Amino acid sequence: MAPCILQFNSLPVDMNIRKFIRDIFDAKSLLTLAVLPRFNSYSSTSDIDWACTKFCLNNNKQFASHRNGRSEFCGFRIKLLLDMLPTLTTLQRRKPHLYNPSWLCPQCNSFPETLDHLWTCPYILPEFSPLNTFKTLLLNFLTNCLDKFLSASSLIPLPDSFAADFISLNCWDCDPPSVSCLRLARGLIPTSLAEFLGTYFSLLLIWSILDTPLHDFHFDLYVQIWLCRSIFFHHWESAQGITKKLKLSALGSSSISCTSSNVPPDSSTPSLATVSSDSWVSWVSSSIIRGGSWISHLDFWRRLTVQPLLRTSFW
């Protein structure tokens, strides 16, 4: 029998077939994920280094395992990345019959409690302000990363201005937090950070160094801000007469379905930024031609277009 040569997009595939098929599905899944409004609400998808983000999300064994007694923290990191933490604004969309849409953040009563507000809430007592805690934790994260990069083996000698240039990146701006800073808090590595470091270090070294400090930063956010907020929020719910039984009641479920069918689309949801449906094909094809992982060949900056689509609720 004549040998069979597998082709993809008219290109011969000279690699493990099982891995190649897995790469195809991974590329299609990333495309589906990247175009969600929760990743496009502030700026372009190309501002996120998806390869580094994926590495930091998958590499940490403590994050992947549910056998180490930290499953709650694992869930926190996933929901943080996807903007699915049960903040008040999220609960107001899910259960408007229980959570009045006009209610503001229970801690400061000044702004809606969104995901970003968790880190910027001024609170009623400045010494317990989540914003001050966030600034301290971000500074620790910055210092930890900088120390590791200064002691790492670089591709070229580091200039005397390296530390100052690193600190001046806008992902470290936290007063008030920049868009890049808020994305970094979610675990989305900014392209500006990766590109700056890429001048001096290999990609794998950059990812390996950022991985552990980011994990520790998230754990501190979880313990020092989220858990404290959750305890306060539980008592606030009790004061509003919102009990666990009420949240699980059948009446609540029927109310949700009735309400959601009559509520107009969320006007705050931006137009979806999307890429052409064959973008994943170009990523995989480029990896065949040039070598390396398909995720290193993302081309959002060239193919990203904004198209008017029907507004969609993901809740």
From CA 230, how far away is CA 258, in angstroms rounded?
Answer: 29
Residue at 77 is within a domain? yes
Q: Is 86 exposed, middle or buried (0-12, 13-18, 19+ CB in 10 A)?
A: exposed
What is the chain's percent helix, strand, coil content, to nearest 5? 60, 5, 35
Residue at 138 is within a domain? yes
Domain that holds residue 49: 36-255
User: What is residue 113's predicted lDDT score, i.e. its pLDDT?
Assistant: 95
Asked if residue 142 lies in contact with residue 172, where contact means CB atoms within 8 angstroms, the answer is yes
Residue at 162 is within a domain? yes
Residue at 196 is within a domain? yes
Residue at 72 is within a domain? yes
Residue at 171 is within a domain? yes
User: How many independent structural domains does the chain possess?
Assistant: 1
User: What is residue 42's predicted lDDT score, i.e. its pLDDT?
Assistant: 62
Amino acid in the structure at residue 42: Y
Alpha helices, DSSP H, located in 151-273: 162-167, 179-186, 191-198, 203-221, 227-239, 244-248, 250-262
User: What is residue 299's predicted lDDT score, i.e. its pLDDT?
Assistant: 63
Cis peptide before 176 (omega within 30 of 0): yes
User: What is residue 181's predicted lDDT score, i.e. its pLDDT?
Assistant: 94
User: What is residue 44's predicted lDDT score, i.e. its pLDDT?
Assistant: 64
User: What is residue 60's predicted lDDT score, i.e. its pLDDT?
Assistant: 56
Asked if residue 222 lies in contact with residue 73, where contact means CB atoms within 8 angstroms, the answer is yes
User: What is residue 250's predicted lDDT score, i.e. its pLDDT?
Assistant: 47
Residue at 230 is within a domain? yes
Residue at 266 is within a domain? no
Tally Cβ neighbours within 10 Å of residue 136: 13
**Per residue of the chain (315 residues), what is the pLDDT tens digit?**
556 778 888 888 888 888 888 888 888 877 777 777 777 666 566 788 888 888 888 765 554 444 444 678 888 998 999 899 999 999 999 999 999 999 999 999 999 999 999 999 988 666 778 999 999 999 999 999 999 999 999 999 999 999 999 999 999 998 889 999 999 999 999 999 999 999 999 999 999 999 999 999 999 999 999 999 999 999 999 999 988 888 887 454 444 444 333 333 343 333 333 445 677 788 778 887 777 777 777 765 444 433 333 333 322
The pair phi, psi for residue 255, each rounded to 5°, is -65, -35
